[in-house]
Structure 1
Amino acid sequence: MGDKRACARAITMVENGDKEIFDMIKKLYKYTGRAYIVGITGPPGSGKSTVTDKLTKELRKRKKKVGIIAIDPTSPFTGGAILGDRIRMNDLALDKEVFIRSMGTRGSLGGLSKATQGAVKILDIFGTDYIFIETVGVGQSEIDIVKLADTVLMVMAPNMGDDIQAIKAGIVEIADIFAINKSDLDGADKTELEIQMMLDLNDKKDYRPFVLKVSGVRNEGMDILLDKIIEHRKYLESTNKLKDIRVRNAKLEILKLVEDELMSSVMKTIKNNSILEELAEKVVLRNLDPYTGRDKIIELLK
C-alpha cells in the first residue's frame, strides 16, 4: 500500500474539489479496478461499524490490504465528519495495511458523501485489496451504495423495528448478503425468518442472498460472513455479472459527473445575473410557467 499520509492528503483534495487530484486520477486510472468494493449498510444502531471492524481483522489474517471509508453525519459546526465510526476502529488505525477515512455526508441524502467515488479510486490506486464503504445509517435513503459497491452487505439487528421498516421500504432489495448482528439477543431467529420469508417472495433474482446470524461484539460468525462475501464475488466473476455491475455503475457515475458539471455551469451563468430572481417572480405571479423559465436559462448556456 502507498504512503498513508499521501493517501489522506489525496482524499482531502478530492473532498475539496482540487483540480490537481482529478488530473492525477486521470493519469493513474489504469491502475484502478483491482480492489473489491463492499458496501455495508443498514439501520442506525445495527452495529455496522463493529461488523466492518471485525471483517477487516479477518481480512488482515488473510494478508489482505483494506481501505475503509466510514460515512459519518456531518458536524453542524465544522462541516466535517463527526468521526464516531473511526473512534470505534481505533486499534485498526495502527495497522500499516489498513487505511481508515471518515467522511461527512455534507447534506447528501443517499447515505454517502459526494466525494466517496473519488476516495474509492484513491484507495484503489494505493493498492488495497478490499474497500469497505460503511454508510451513515439513515434508513430509506441509503440506496446510493448500490451505485458504488460490488457486493452490498445489509446489517440488521433484532427487536429494532427498523428492520421491518426497511423491508417494507424495499431498501433490502439492494442487499446481496444479510448479517443479523447481535444474534445473541432474543428475536434474532424471528428476524431471520422474516428476511427469509421476504426473500421467498422475490422471484426476480437469479441469486438468493445469504442470511447469516453473527455477533460483532463476540466476534462470532465473522469468518463465515467473510467467506460468503468472497463466495458472492466468485459468483459474480464466474457469471460475468461483476463486469455488468461495474459497467452500470460507470454509466451512472459519468451521468452524475455530467450533471454536476452542467449544474456548475448554470450556477456560474446566473451567479452575477438577476435572471433567476426575475424568472421566479414571474412564475409566482403566473406571468410565466417554470418550464419556459427553464428554457430561458438553458438558452443562456448556448
Structure 2
Amino acid sequence: MTIVTHSRTAKRGTYTPSAALVKDVLAGRAIAIARMISRAEEGYPEAAEALAELYKHGGNAHIVGITGVPGAGKSTLVSALIKAYAAEGRKVGVIAVDPSSPYSGGAILGDRVRMSETAAAGGAFVRSMATRGHLGGLTRATLQAVDVLDAAGYSPIIIETVGVGQDEVEVVTAAHTVVVLSAPGLGDDIQAIKAGILEIADIHAVSKCDKPEASATVSALQGMLSLGGGSGSHWTSPVLPVSAVSGERIAELKDAIGAHWAHLHDTGELAARQRAICKTRILGTARHLFQQKFQQESATLETHIRAVTERRMDPSVAARALLGWEEIR
C-alpha cells in the first residue's frame, strides 16, 4: 500500500510504522528523525508509543532557548552558533518556531532557508515548526521534537522562538538555558518589554555590536538588571554584545552558554529546572487532551455552554462538570 508520507515535503511512498523508525532515530538518521517529528507535529496516535520509547532514551541534551523581539536577528544568531558548535564537532539540533501561514497553517520559512544552508554545511539538523495559532512562542509538539533530537544524540538543541514579545516567556519552561537577544537602539522599547521576556534570561545578548547604539543598549540592560530582584539562583546573567554577521564575540556567547550549563550541574539547579519542565509538560498535555476530548464530544460541551448562557450554571461549575466533579443542574 502506498500513501503520502509525513515528511515536510509530501512524497508518495511506502509507509513506515513509527515503531519501526525508533531504531533509525536512535542511530541519528535524518530521514527517520524528520518523519518522527512530522508525526508528532500532526498528532498521529500511531506515533505515541514510539515517542514514549524515544523519551526514555533522552535526558542528556542541553536545551537552549533563543528568544527576543521580532527583528532582533535570532535566526542569524542561531546560524552563527551552529558554525561555532560545528567547529568543535558538536552535533547541533535546532527547532525554529515560526508564525503560522494564515492559509496553509504551515511555517513561514523566511530566514530559515539561510539557516538550513548553514546547518547542511555544519552537520546540524534544523526543523521549522508552525505555531498553528498557539500562543506563548512554542507549539504543542515543540518539546516532542526536542525529545526526538535528544534521543538521536543532538546537543545542544536550540529552540528559536517566534518572536512575539512578552508571550515568549513560555520558553523558560522548555529550556535549561535561555538567551534573550535584543537589538541596539531599542530605547524606550526596552522599558515596554522588560517586565516580560527580559527577566527570563540566563544570558542577554545584544546584536549588531558594531553599531554605535549597541553600547548604549548594553548599558541600559545592565542598569535594569542591577535594579531587578533576585531569581533565587547564584548565576549572574551576563550582557554580551555580539555580531552574528561578522562572528564577533559569538565564541564568547557560546562559552557563556556552556558555563551556564556547567553551573546548573555544579549547583544542583539542573534538577529543579528538569522538574519544572516535566511539570509544565504534564499540565500542558492534560490541557491539550481536555480540549481535544470536548472538541470531539461537542454535544457535551454544547450542553454546558447552553447552561452557562442561560445563567443556570456559572462557568466554574460548568468546567468542574466537564471534569466530572459536578453534576449539571
Same structural fold, with TM-score higher than 0.5 when normalized by the shorter chain: yes
Report the equivalent of 1:165. Answer: 192
One of 174, 194, 215 as aligned partner of 1:189: 215
Aligned-residue offset at 1:301: 9.8
User: How many Å separate the matches in 2 of 1:263 and 1:61?
Assistant: 45
**Alpha carbons of 1:234 and 1:296: their partners in 2 closer, same or farther (altered >3 Å)?**
closer
SS of equivalent residue, structure 2 residue 323: helix
Distance verdict in 2 for CA 1:239–1:263, change over 3 Å: same
Letter of the 2:193 partner, please give it: A
Identity over aligned pairs, percent: 41
Paired residue for 2:78?
52
Counterpart CA distance in 1 for 2:154 and 2:293 is 35
Structure-1 residue corresponding to 2:6: none
Pairing 1:118–2:144 present: yes
2:309 maps to 1:284 = yes
Q: How does 1:260-279 map to 2 (within 5 A)?
A: 260-268=288-296, 270-271=297-298, 273=299, 275-279=300-304
The counterpart of 2:158, out of the listed 127, 132, 138, is 132
**d(CA) in 1 for partners of 2:307, 2:196:** 40
What SS does structure 1 have at the residue aligned with 2:78? helix
* Shift, 1:158, TM fit: 0.9
Change (3 A) 1:293 1:106: same
Counterpart of 2:105, as a letter, is G
Q: Contact conserved, 2:180 with 2:197, CA < 8 A, in 1?
A: no
Secondary structure (helix, strand or coil) at the match of 1:178 reads strand
Q: In the alignment, which of 202, 205, 210 is matched to residue 228 of structure 2?
A: 202
1:17-41 alpha-carbon deviations (Å, 9 max, x no partner): 1123221122232320111110000
Seen in structure 2, the aligned counterparts of structure 1 residues 96 and 211 have a Cα distance that, compared at 3 Å, is closer
Deviation (angstroms), 1:157? 0.8
Aligned residue for 2:270, secondary structure, equals: helix
Query: How big is the shift at 1:186?
Result: 2.5
In structure 2, do the counterparts of structure 1 residues 281 and 211 end up closer, same or farther at CA, with 3 Å as the change threshold?
A: same
Checking the alignment, whether the CA contact within 8 Å between 1:43 and 1:139 is kept in structure 2 is yes
Counting matched residue pairs gives 298
Task: Give me the whole-angstrom Cα distance separating, in 1, the residues matched to 2:320 and 2:72.
Answer: 47
Map Cα deviations across residues 51-75 of structure 1 (whole Å, 9 max, x no partner): 1100110000001000011111111
Q: What letter matches 2:218 in structure 1?
A: E
TM-score (ref. length: structure 1)? 0.92
The equivalent position to 1:155 in structure 2, one of 164, 178, 181, is 181
Conserved? CA contact 1:72–1:85, under 8 Å: no
Instruction: Quickly say closer, same or farther: Cα 1:152–1:296, change in 2 above 3 A.
Output: closer
Please say if residues 68 and 100 of structure 1, whose CA atoms lie closer than 8 Å, have aligned partners that are also in contact.
yes
Aligned to 1:235: 263
User: Partners of 1:285 and 1:240 in 2: how far apart?
Assistant: 53
- Secondary structure of residue in 1 paired with 2:105: coil
Provide, for residues 67-120 of structure 1, a one-character-per-residue CA deviation record: whole Å limited to 9, x for no partner: 011111111111100111311213224237310100001111111121101000
Cross-structure match for 2:319:
294
Instruction: Answer whether contact 2:68 2:181 (CA < 8 A) is retained.
Output: yes
Letter of the 1:297 counterpart: L
Separation in 2 of the partners of 1:295 and 1:289? 10
Give the 3 Å change call, closer, same or farther, for CA 94–301 of structure 1 in structure 2: farther
Name the structure 1 match of 2:251.
223
Distance 1:237 1:111, change over 3 A: same
Structure 2, gaps ≥5 residues long: 1-26
Distance 2:259 2:119 in 1: 28
Q: Over aligned residues, Cα RMSD in angstroms? A: 2.0
SS in structure 2 at match of 1:89: helix
Q: In structure 1, how many angstroms separate the alpha carbons of the residues matched to 2:138 and 2:324? A: 33
Deviation at 1:220, TM superposition (A): 0.6
Q: 2:130 aligns with which of 95, 104, 108?
A: 104
CA distance in 2, matches of 1:300, 1:264: 19
Q: Measured at CA, do residues 137 and 145 of structure 1 come closer, stay the same or move farther in structure 2, by a change above 3 Å?
A: same
CA change 1:4–1:175 in 2 (3 A) is: same
TM-score normalised to structure 2 length? 0.85
Higher alpha-carbon deviation: 202-211 or 114-123: 202-211
